[in-house]
Each structure stands twice: as structure tokens, then as C-alpha cells.
């Protein structure tokens, strides 16, 4: 078996939120991308902290949970360096992160606001078609799913899937018992996100 081209990682943050939610999500996303898109992603993911130098070993960092998030000064400096240097953070609100994540990300990019991506953005069309933008996987507050982004030098450095619960759709089928078509929609969207990261010409 050949060595995997790259690995994905989960962000272990402070503040009390359950960063460890969705433990099977990245494994299943890797399997889906390897089987359908001939990607060579390790099925084993690593856990990294925001202030660790290991952060720079990963092209994609996944962050999820239901509650509080707190970035220290060293976390902020390291995350800013990582994202400005070509790294990518995917924040996937598992319900309850929003009020905290907006404040903490403002520490990293004080002059950049989250913007909602239009349905025409390439991240919704580069591999699989999502004509209506970010798919809705789980319902919480009867709000539409929103794909939000922090854009630095014309490229998304942080994608924030809000009111969607993509990671729940990536989990093992027996966890949430979602219909198979819902799970496939979430995995396809995850594949689009990874494809966006791996395409050096993605500047929109």
C-alpha cells in the first residue's frame, strides 16, 4: 500500500467546547474522496492545537463542536501565520459555536469579516454541483445553511459551514441514521472543499 499524500487534522481548542465531536467524520470523508476522486488521503487524522508548530503539516484543519471556544494570544499568532501562509481552517458549527467563533476569529483577522459566499462560487461547483449553495444536513433553528468565508488575498483561508452540520453527515451511518442521499450530499460538499484547497488556481 502506497503512503498517503497528505493527512487531515482536527483542531483541539480551549474554552470547554467539545472539539472532539464527530470522531468518524474525517475518516469517512477521506474514504469518500479516495474512492470517488482518486485522492490519496490518510484515513487516520491527527489532533493539533492552535499554538502547535505541527499545524503547518496539514493543508486542512477541521474545527467543530457545540460550545465555547477560546484562543490564547499564542493561538492567535500561530493561526494567523498558518492561514496567511496557505493553510485552511474549516469551522463546522455543530450547533452552539457561532457566538464564540465570530469573536475568536476576529482576534486572528481584525480587519476581515466573514462574508456569505454566493451560490455561484466555485467551491459549490468545482467537482460536484450545488446550485443552491451549502447543503442543509441537520435542522436546528429553522435557518438556512450558510457558507461563510474569511478571504485573504482573494482566497478563502477559513470556510465556516453554519446551520448545516456537514460533519454530522460525514459520520458513520449508524450515528445519526441520516438517509444515504443526505450523507452523500454532505460528503460531496466535503470533497468540493478539499478540491478547492488542492487547486492552486482557486482564487475566486
What is the residue extent of each domain of the chain? 9-198
Q: Strands 46-48 and 9-11: what pairing?
A: parallel
* CA gap 140, 98 in Å, rounded: 13
Residue predicted with more confidence, 76 or 21: 76
Contact call for residues 64 and 45 (beta carbons, < 8 A): no
Q: pTM for the complete prediction?
A: 0.93
- Report the percent of the chain where pLDDT is more than 90: 79
pLDDT at 200 over 70: no
Give the contacts of 132 (CB within 8 A, at least 6 positions apart).
119
* Cα 4 from chain centroid (whole Å): 20
For residues 17 and 15, give the distance between their C-alpha atoms in angstroms, rounded to a whole number.
6
pLDDT over threshold 90, residue 139: no
Model confidence band, residue 95 (pLDDT cutoffs 50, 70, 90)? confident
Q: Which three cell numbers stand for residue 15?
A: 474554552
CATH superfamily entry for domain 9-198: Domain of unknown function DUF4159 (3.40.50.12140)
More confident residue, 21 or 77: 77
Element (H, E) at 161: strand 155-162
Amino acid at each position: 500500500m502506497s503512503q498517503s499524500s497528505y493527512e487531515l487534522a482536527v483542531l483541539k481548542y480551549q474554552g470547554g467546547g467539545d472539539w472532539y465531536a464527530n470522531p468518524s467524520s474525517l475518516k469517512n470523508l477521506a474514504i469518500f474522496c479516495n474512492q470517488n476522486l482518486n485522492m490519496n488521503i490518510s484515513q487516520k487524522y491527527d489532533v493539533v492545537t492552535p499554538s502547535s508548530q505541527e499545524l503547518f503539516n496539514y493543508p486542512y484543519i477541521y474545527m467543530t463542536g457545540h460550545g465555547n471556544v477560546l484562543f490564547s494570544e499564542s493561538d492567535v499568532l500561530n493561526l494567523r501565520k498558518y492561514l496567511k501562509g496557505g493553510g485552511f481552517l474549516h469551522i463546522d458549527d455543530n450547533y452552539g459555536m457561532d457566538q464564540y467563533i465570530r469573536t475568536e476569529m476576529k482576534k486572528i483577522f481584525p480587519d476581515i469579516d466573514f462574508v456569505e459566499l454566493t451560490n455561484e462560487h466555485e467551491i459549490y461547483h468545482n467537482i460536484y454541483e450545488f446550485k443552491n449553495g451549502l447543503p442543509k444536513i441537520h435542522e436546528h433553528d429553522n435557518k438556512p445553511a450558510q457558507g461563510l468565508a474569511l478571504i485573504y488575498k482573494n482566497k478563502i483561508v477559513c470556510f465556516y459551514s453554519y446551520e448545516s452540520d456537514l460533519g454530522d453527515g460525514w459520520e458513520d451511518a449508524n450515528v445519526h441514521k441520516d438517509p444515504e442521499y443526505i450523507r452523500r450530499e454532505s460528503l460531496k460538499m466535503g470533497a468540493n472543499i478539499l478540491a478547492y484547497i488542492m487547486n492552486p488556481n482557486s482564487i475566486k
